[in-house]
Structure 1
Amino acid sequence: MAVTWVLKPEDVARIRFAFSPLWELVASLRTLRDPARQSVHLPWVKGVRPRLAGLDMEELFALVPPDGYLADFITPPPDTPLPDFASEIDAVRRTPPERASAEAARVVGSDPAVIERFRADPAAGVARVADALEAYWETCLAEFWPRVYALLERDMLRRSRLLAKGGARELFAGLDPAVSWTGERLVIERPWTCKPHDTIGPLHGDGLVLVPSAFFWPGTAVMSEPYQSMLVYPVSGVGTLWEEGPPPVPGALAALIGRSRAQILLALAEPATTSALAERMTISRGAVSQHLGVLSDSGLTVGLRVGKEVVYRRTSTGDTLALHAS
């Protein structure tokens, strides 16, 4: 099965990137139920499974079966490039009960009794599900989110540069083997889709949001009306997600500029924010800011403001120094 979207010029002009902590949280429910299909996440699964004993996961697992359609209202498309979990869970709580009930009715492969209990009072069901998602987030994913955030952020920034440099053709050429672009039509092979019977048609005038995902990897997913049109694709570099510590530092580079600055310079093989670097380096944001200041004053890095964040990248001089030190 394939989904084909016809993109008008205005849709192409409104392509944007975003990522979603709530999407990762919901996708991780499938990882928990079938770790074998995503063995890359086994370190996380082993770490959090003992914590599930105190959580009520029944309705979440019913609305997110192991395969096929999952209720869309618990994965609203992100409306900003860098949404936070609190704003996304608020969007879930505002779901119209009739929409939640209709979407729950479309879920197959789950306990019918649990689905019927949800649909008997969908307003109360939405509140219970939002509470369960919050509890699951705090117990199993919040402490790991900075690590996932950094991976998604690097991917989003890299692909944004591809879009700016080569347009939609270059962007979609490297997005995923399941995604192809003809110059007018975007074809997504075998995605999870909120409308399985609508396999071809135009977007509905709102452009397209591209969302990298670590926990849905290696699959793709699409959403459209009545939601913002969205394509979820597998993030690159997911194999490094659960690796510990910063990149190794060659001795000569460390001797020249200091070990921490050398680690930061090597980590900037992909652009990153101060917070993402601090998480990866396991040092404070203040310390990272000081080191970035020195690196920038030396002409090795440069910062660019993107929304509320400053994204740092290596300059050509920094690239040369890092390349010869590696």
Structure 2
Amino acid sequence: MIEFRFVVGDLARTSFAYSPLQEAVYSLRCWRDPARYPHQRPWLRRLGPAFGRQDTELLTALVAPSLWLPDFLTPRPDRPRPAVERQLAELGRTPPDVVGAQFTAAYGSAPLPPVVRRGLADPAALLARIVAALDGYWRDCLAPDWWPRVHAVLEADLAHRGKILAEEGAGGLFASLDPRLSWSGEVLTLVKKFDRHPWPEADIEIGGRGLVLIPTMFALGAHTNIDPVLPPLLSYPARGRATISETPPPATGEAVTRLLGAARARLLHLLREPASTTELAHRLGVTPGAVSQHLSVLYDAGLLTRARSGRSVRYVRSELGERLCG
């Protein structure tokens, strides 16, 4: 059992973020145990040749047989939507003495792989190699196509959780993240009963540090750092993560398709969850300009609403659009 203890003001400091670096590091679990992530298999097949050109000896060694990872690889995001370059720079500033200790904690009783054992003779050099390997893996394998799809899922998750918080309060929000979470008003409890590698019990004081909630594509349930002394965070399964392998949906409803055309009907179908022009373009395999033209028509017809989110504008079906699709 893991308990997060809140005092006055801690709930107000609880926030959401997602982490490109965490998703990159967690995705390495797929190469270690692809059977646990069936919705990622089509991507693994497509990315296999590019992954084979990476520093695979080191990248696969970052994941222990239990699928645990050293905590320093996934630092807590310092903002809601950090750039991966910023996170890699932060990773590179990890104190060298932390590297060996956290590899040992992640691997537990399992032996460290040779590449790690050799590297720990010079932890600073090993850390530099890890940063370079993750940077290459991100640029060559994930950034071109995989990340835009994941980014859309994570953005939609944040919008969904914000709606739950507004309508149901903190209790409803925490319950939506994982049924094993319970909220008493002062303590958030995570009970982990059936894990193959159960977490040690922990009593974590938020203590004004804020709890950061992070959706991920690579979790079957909520979890936190191995080391409970680190700044508190809680990763949880992103809503809609199984859609990562979907091909663009057909335009549903013959009448709607005849009315709007196949392209606009498909967009309206996709916009049951908020998305930006760029995200929709990646999902449909078309140019952002083409998507923008269709979105303008749908918005002018009252079928969509839009709101600015950071640097992008996100669209979602309006009440009229929902009724039309219903």
Which of these residues, 142, 156, 172, is aligned with residue 154 of structure 1?
Answer: 156
Q: Percent identity?
A: 42
Comparing 98-107 with 230-239, greater Cα deviation is found at 98-107
In the TM superposition, structure 1's runs of 4+ consecutive aligned residues that sit over 6 Å from their partners are none
Give 1:118's aligned residue: 119
Aligned residue in 2 for 1:181? 183
**For residues 177-256 of structure 1, what are the structure 2 equivalents within 5 Å?**
177-190=179-192, 199-214=202-217, 216-223=218-225, 227-256=230-259
Against the structure 1 CA distance between its residues 47 and 282, is the aligned structure 2 distance closer, same or farther, given a 3 Å change threshold?
closer
Once the two structures are TM-superposed, the CA of residue 158 in structure 1 deviates from its matched residue by 0.7
Cα distance in 2, alignment partners of residues 48 and 291 from structure 1: 31
Contact 1:204 1:225 in 2 (8 A): no
Distance of aligned partners of 1:283 and 1:53 in 2 relative to their CA distance in 1, 3 Å threshold: closer
How many residues are matched?
319
C-alpha RMSD of the superposition: 2.3
Give the secondary-structure state (helix, strand or coil) at the position aligned to 1:80: coil
Mapped partners of 2:206, 2:272: distance in 1: 35
- Name the structure 2 match of 1:128: 129
The whole-number CA distance in structure 1 between the counterparts of 2:95 and 2:258 is 60
- Contact conserved, 1:22 with 1:75, CA < 8 A, in 2? yes
- Structure 2's unaligned 5+ residue stretches are none
Q: CA deviation at 1:234?
A: 0.8
Distance 1:197 1:34 in 2: 23
Give yes or no for contact 2:7–2:207 (8 Å, CA) kept in 1. Answer: no
CA distance in 1, matches of 2:302, 2:37: 41
State the shift of 1:38 in Å: 2.0
In the other structure, the counterpart of 1:284 is 287
Provide TM-score, normalisation by structure 2: 0.89
Question: In the alignment, what sits opposite 2:320?
Answer: 317
How far is 1:283 from its partner? 2.0
Match of 2:95 in 1: 96
The answer as to 2:106 corresponding to 1:107 is yes
C-alpha deviation, 1:225, in angstroms: 6.1
SS for the counterpart of 1:222 is: coil
The letter of the residue matching 1:283 is: V
**Conservation of the 8 A alpha-carbon contact between 1:213 and 1:235:** yes
Residue type of the alignment partner of 1:220: A
**1:19 is matched with which residue?**
18
Pick closer, same or farther for the CA change 1:265–1:68 going to 2, 3 Å.
closer
Partner SS state of residue 10, structure 2: helix
In terms of mean alpha carbon deviation, does 91-100 or 46-55 score higher?
A: 46-55
Post-superposition offset of 1:102: 2.9
> Is there any run of 5+ residues in structure 1 with no aligned partner, and where?
none
